[in-house]
Amino acid sequence: QEGSLCAQHCLNNLLQGEYFSPVELSSIAQQLDEEERMRMAEGGVSSEEYRTFLQQPSVNMDDSGFFSIQVISNALKVWGLELILFNSPEYQRLGIDPINEKSFICNYKEHWFTVRKLGKQWFNLNSLLMGPELISDTYLALFLAQLQQEGYSIFVVKGDLPDCEADQLLQMIRVQQMQRPKLIGEEAAQSRDQRLSRSDVDQAVEVNHPFDGTGMLDEDEENFQRALALSRQEIDMEDEEADLRRAIQLSMQGSRRSELSGSLPQNVPQSSHSSQTDSLSSEELRRRRQAYFEKQQQQLQQQDQTPDLQDKVTLSSGTPEPGTGGDMSEEDMLQAAMNMSLESVRNHLNSEEEK
């Protein structure tokens, strides 16, 4: 629709052709104004009513492009068409059934549009829509009743409409409409609202964080990388502690098989000992490991072993000699525990072979 020329669009949609222009409708309106002026003049040109009539604007058209029902009715008379008010006494007398009619003209607050049957289907030809809206036969009566409830004036168009291509085509086929056409400007309004909403969000972000987005991304990335590094360190520490505990347990189990097994109480189950080791704190476990390693070193020195084997164990384990006073690192204690475990297993296998 262009401007407020809804009456022109209503008539051309009804007739399915460019039959009326604003100039032609203005000519009809001016003719109606002149006829009304002549009637008022019959009561005397010097009367108060006549002077008041001349001062008032035209009721048949205005500068915005609106035309009255009288203009539309006179324009349709050229085509032999007549307008009857919906649910009027004449309408009731004729027993009109909406489903059997061909078209309706609707008006509300100076807006006109056409509802017409093309082929075997009804369409809402409102010029404010992006396209024709399909109306089912079962919904037609409800649609008209809803318009009446909203304050629309509805007129039935009586007479034969001119032939049109749309009516001929839709006599042979039926159409289906998956989505209702939107109002003109509805998509543009929605896009504008979305842009305004995004603009408000951006302004709020700038107010709360008055720095550019690059800095935010860099800071978030830095915090994320720092969290990952801390997580990896915790995992590595947990894995190292678990490996160390398993090595200590293997060493203690190997010692129980060898000659050091008598140093442990015989009535304590192995599973109970493992659970007690797991329940020890890190500091207490370190002290016990240190004392155990020192005891192992003293016992190894007291045994009559070959010098080569002692040198081999000392070099491979990297453990300090007792009495040096230095604390062993976690890696040194792990290596020493593994070497002693292997040595115990080796001695046990040698004794088994001798037997």
What are the structural domain ranges in the chain? 6-172
CA 195 to chain centre: 16
Q: Residue 223 catalytic?
A: no
pLDDT at residue number 44: 78
> In angstroms, what is the C-alpha Rg of the chain?
51
Cα–Cα distance for residue pair 9/186, rounded to 1 Å: 20
Catalytic residue, from 12, 60, 124, 126: name it. 126
Helix (H, G, I), strand (E, B) or coil at 272: helix
Strand ordering across the sheet containing 111-118: 82-85, 153-158, 103-108, 111-118, 121-125, 133-135
Tell me what pLDDT residue 254 has.
Answer: 54
Q: What would the pLDDT profile of 109-144 be if each residue is shown by its tens digit?
A: 878 999 999 999 999 999 888 899 999 999 999 999
d(CA 55, CA 295): 124
Alpha-carbon gap, residue 285 to 271, rounded angstroms: 17
3-class state of residue 22 by DSSP: helix
Q: How confident is the model at residue 342 (pLDDT cuts 50, 70, 90)?
A: confident
The whole-chain average pLDDT of the chain stands at 75
Residue 7, burial from CB neighbour count under 10 angstroms (0-12, 13-18, 19+):
buried
At 321 the pLDDT is: 45
Report pLDDT digits (tens) over 252-294.
Answer: 655 555 444 444 444 444 444 444 444 456 667 667 767 766 7
Does the annotation count 10 as an active-site position? Answer: no
Per residue in 51-107, pLDDT (tens digit) is: 787 877 787 887 777 888 999 999 999 999 999 998 888 888 888 888 999 999 999
Q: Is 6 a catalytic residue?
A: yes
Give the span between the Cα atoms of 4 and 16, in whole angstroms.
19
**What is the pLDDT confidence band of residue 28, given thresholds at 50, 70 and 90?**
very high
Average pLDDT over residues 336-346: 77
Residues 6+ apart with CB under 8 A from 135: 115, 121, 122, 123, 124, 143
State residue 268's pLDDT score.
41
- Within a 13 Å sphere around the CA of 77, how many CA atoms are in the beta-carbon half? 8
Q: Residue for token digits 């720095």? A: 211
Of residues 87, 111, 347, 348, which has the active-site annotation? 111
Alpha-carbon distance of 183 to 22, in angstroms, equals: 23
CATH 3.90.70.40 given to domain 6-172 = yes
β-bridge mates for residue 158, sequence order: 82
Residue 156 pLDDT more than 80? yes
